[in-house]
Amino acid sequence: MALKGTDAGQSGEAVAVDDPAKLRNVVLVGPSGGGKTTLVEALLAATNVISRAGSVTDGTTVCDHDPAAVRQQRSVALAVAPLLHDGVKINLINTPGYADFVGELRAGLRAADAALFVISAAEGVDAATAALWEECAAVEMPRAVVVARLDHQRAEVEATMAACRDAFGSGVLPLYLPVTDAGGVTGLIGLLSGRRFDYSGGYPPKIGDPDPADADHIETARNELIEGIIEQSEDESLMERYLGGEQIEPETLIKDLETAVARGSFHPVLPVCSATGVGLAELLELLTKGFPSPLEHKAPQAIKLGAGPIELAVDSNGPLAGEVVRTTVDAYVGRVSLVRVFSGTLRPDRSVHVSGHGMASRGHDDHDADERVAHVYSPLGVNLREVPYCVAGDICALTKLSSAETGDTISASDNALLVEPWDMPEPLLPVAVVAKTRSDEDALSRNLSRLVAGDPTLRLERNAETKQLVLWCMGEAHADVVLARLRAGGADVDTEPVQVALRETFASPIKAKGRHVKQSGGHGQYAICDIEVEPLPRGSGFEFVDKIVGGAIPNNFIPSVEKGVRAQMEKGLERGFPVVDIRVKLIDGKAHSVDSSDAAFQTAGALALREAASAGRTSLLEPLDEVRIRVNDDYLGNVLGDLSGRRGRVLGTEPDTNGRTVVLAEVPASELLRYAVDLRSITSGTATFTRRFARYEPVPEALVASTLGGSKNH
């Protein structure tokens, strides 16, 4: 049942797979503009899932259905597009290549069992993609490389294949060589099969023998490939046989190749052109025969709620355990939850338990609820096609689970489980938004809850001090998408400069008197207190010391003075910022037997602190953050120089793995408002950072005026 179609025209029927061994979950990753979305279109068209391939430029692709993606002409969200080839269902998981949408990428990695790196032959490998390769290597995820966009006028196919090996390291070797003529790449030569695959007439290819003139080039590449495969072989005698001059059977090499690819120790490279169809047949063969099924990929850790850890196995008859990897709100069907099933089988007309824990710091309160699954769908981009079930290892879509959020666990109502969440990147770019009208405020509140539920990389902060609503995003492109979605939901919003919560303190000791006397007949008000204020070291907080002797102020009114001082500290002094890190000594005062009261001494305490501020010197304090930056050594100088320009203080550096350095520094929070964007710019997107509050420190006198000028409180 198709709930919604795409412009490209879809003709493939949804297929429910019974055996996890007949499944492949492959995430497409790589730089923005590398050709991932176009490659998915070509594969869907080649396998008759869609009648014709859509266009990124025209906004008609299966995966880029989001209005923001159509407008920006690049993917901004994860999308799933399944196809069937040779009896195997392949769930292609397309992810954005732009760094701002790394949250969608991480979700795609969680849903997948293997990664396909798509590299443009016209652009090569950037540092961010190389870093992602290392991230996949750390979890031993099987990987292969597609060199795409062979038809680009600046395409350098063999140079890009060599660059992939240089960037990604050993075990990265081509399985095919491109065949070129004056018109570009027209076919491939299989290094193991020794056959030529001619795409000059389109897909599927015609198979023949290669040109004898290419024999030497083919032989050199073939020998290098065979040696690479044998190095990864579990048969230790194979290398001896090969070095002894024995010809190893292609079947043996192919079997060892497939084993090494599934194990994640060998990474084949294939040239593929989406426009001409070159390499599509070979890629489909690799996806079905080389990449692992869910049975070969370890399921994440899980716990049984109220009990303890359990081991999940990819078993369709096991306990139900799935995870929501993406949440959207569709105009037609409401909330749509994209679910990777790790264990058990999801069926319609059943009750499930929805559980989400551990994301309260990002605005996702812990929650548990039982809900009913009315239908199970196979997603094809935004299109939903009903299926009778979804087995362990497969990906499906559920609708109208009102409590489900990205990262939540779906399990049986009578056997509630919680899957260990994947690593979520921390949003570090603050954007303050304000609704234009009262009706926009209502729409803003409704839309924000939906956006936060679907995007774990978006954090919502309502700052009680600055009175601002702050959206913490991954970068400017992410913020642009969030704002566009808010406006599309009916909330007309503007952005405003983000305010930093400042503080005040006293710069030197000072004595002051608080006098609150009102006697005009009847019951009056009488309270006089003398205080001495002195600064404390940063982070000390507040101390109140009672130095009254001789009963100058009755004991029952001394806490009233402290309460008044504390209230004034929270309200602020002349500048209007909370006061911190002071010691207040109550040294003298006067009381009246009739007119003194708790309220009067509270007022006197507040007046005394204000008088001390007028007579003495106060300092403006700004928050200082501890920053930890992980950067390639090539960009270390850029980072250190930039920190100096931000009034940063470098505490030290530590060597890290793979030619990287960790920089520890302290930087004023006001200098970090756009650091997520600027750091990416000066390091070509290769550096990452974390920040946490350290303490408050005085603002330099030369900057006090400009700091106050950017604050609403002043």
Give the burial string for 406-439 (b: 16+ CB within 10 Å, else e): bbbbbbbeeebbbbebbebebbbbbbbbebeeee
Q: Of 87, 81, 86, which is closest to residue 37 (Cα–Cα)?
A: 81
Higher-scoring residue by pLDDT: 533, 711: 533
pLDDT in the model for residue 12:
57
| 714 confidence band (pLDDT: 50, 70, 90) | low
Contact of 647 with 671, CB cutoff 8 Å: yes
Distances (CA, A) of 506 to 512, 542, 708: 13, 12, 17
pLDDT band at 707 (very low <50, low <70, confident <90, very high): confident
Give dist(CA 403, CA 554) in Å, integer.
57
| Helix (H) and strand (E) counts in the chain | 16, 37
State yes or no: pLDDT of 355 exceeds 90: yes
Options 3.30.1510.10, 3.40.50.2000, 1.20.1290.10, 2.40.30.10; which CATH number does 302-419 get? Answer: 2.40.30.10
Determine the Cα angle at 96 with ends 94 and 99, to 5°.
150
Q: Tell me the CA distances in angstroms from 377 to 1, 7, 373, one per residue in order.
A: 8, 20, 11
Identify the pLDDT of residue 6: 36
| Separation of alpha carbons 8 and 63, rounded Å | 11
Query: Are β-strands 114-120 and 23-29 bridged in parallel, bridged antiparallel, or unpaired?
Result: parallel
Confidence of residue 363 (pLDDT cuts 50, 70, 90): low
Among the residue ranges 126-135, 494-503, 641-650, 671-680, the one predicted with the least confidence is 126-135
Upstream peptide bond of 623 is cis (omega within 30 degrees of 0) = no
Tell the residue number behind the tokens 């953050």, with chain if given.
625
Cα-based angle 196, 222, 215 (whole degrees, multiple of 5): 60
Q: Are 56 and 94 in contact (CB under 8 A)?
A: no
Confidence label for 169 from pLDDT (cuts 50, 70 and 90): confident
Residues 433-453: tens digit of each pLDDT = 999 888 888 889 888 888 888
Is pLDDT above 60 for 3? no
Query: What Cα–Cα distance (Å) separates residue 272 from each residue in 149, 151, 201, 203, 279?
Result: 7, 10, 15, 12, 4
Q: pLDDT digit string (tens) for 69-122?
A: 888 888 999 999 999 999 999 999 999 998 899 999 999 999 999 999 999 999
* % the chain with pLDDT above 70: 96
Name the CATH code of domain 430-496 (choices 2.60.40.10, 3.30.9.10, 3.30.70.870, 3.30.70.1110).
3.30.70.870
Distance between CA atoms of residues 141 and 129, nearest Å: 15
Mean pLDDT value across residues 682-691: 92
Name the nearest CA neighbour of 143 among 283, 266, 297.
266
DSSP string, 618-672: EEEEEEEEEEEEEEEGGGHHHHHHHHHHTT-EEEEEEE-STTEEEEEEEEEGGGG
Span 296-337, pLDDT tens digits: 988 999 999 888 899 999 999 999 999 999 998 877 788 899
Quick: pLDDT tens for 208-260.
Answer: 999 998 899 999 999 999 999 998 888 888 888 888 888 888 888 989 998 89
Q: What is the predicted pLDDT for the residue at 657?
A: 83
User: Per residue in 402-444, pLDDT tens?
Assistant: 999 999 999 999 999 999 888 888 999 999 999 988 888 888 9
What pLDDT band is residue 591 in, cutting at 50, 70 and 90? Answer: very high
What 3-state class would DSSP assign to 148?
strand
Strand 114-120 relative to strand 143-148, pairing? parallel
Q: Matching CATH topology for 430-496 and 621-709? A: yes
For residue 602, pLDDT beyond 60: yes
pTM for the whole structure? 0.88
Rounded to whole angstroms, how far apart are CA atoms 678 and 627? 14
Q: How far apart are CA 391 and CA 313, in angstroms?
A: 12
Contact indicator for 77, 13 with CB cutoff of 8 Å: no
Among 1.20.210.10, 3.30.70.1350, 2.60.40.1890, 3.40.50.300, name the CATH number for the domain at 21-296. 3.40.50.300
For residue range 249-293, list pLDDT tens digits in order.
888 898 999 889 988 889 999 999 999 999 999 999 999 999 999
Q: CA angle, corner 613, sides to 608 and 616, nearest 5? A: 115
| Residue range 469-503, pLDDT digits in tens | 999 999 999 999 999 989 988 899 999 999 999 99
Task: State the CB neighbour count (10 A cutoff) for residue 296.
Answer: 15
Using DSSP, state whether 186 is helix, strand or coil: strand
Range in 5-14, 456-465, 518-527, 693-702 with the lowest mean pLDDT: 5-14
In angstroms, rounded to a whole number, what is the distance separating the alpha carbons of residues 295 and 488? 42
CB 78 within 8 A of CB 326: yes
How many residues are recorded in the chain? 714
Percentage of the chain with pLDDT > 90? 71
- The domain limits of the chain are 21-296, 302-419, 430-496, 503-616, 621-709
Backbone torsion region of residue 159, taken as left when φ is above 0, otherwise alpha when ψ lies between -120 and 50, otherwise beta: alpha
* 242 Cα distance to chain centroid: 46
The string of pLDDT tens digits covering residues 604-637 is: 999 999 999 999 999 999 999 999 999 999 999 9
* 503-616: CATH, from 3.30.230.10, 3.40.50.2300, 3.20.20.70, 3.40.50.300: 3.30.230.10
Q: Is domain 621-709 given the CATH code 3.30.70.240 in the classification?
A: yes
Is residue 547 very low, low, confident or very high in pLDDT (cuts 50, 70, 90)? very high
Instruction: Give the pLDDT of residue 15.
Output: 81
Average pLDDT over residues 176-183: 87
What's the average model confidence in pLDDT over 11-26?
Answer: 87
Name which of 415, 429, 237, 254 is nearest 321 in CA terms. Answer: 415
Considering the chain, what is the average pLDDT of its residues? 91
pLDDT at 713: 58
Cβ atoms of 293 and 142 closer than 8 Å: no
Over residues 52-64, the mean pLDDT reads: 93
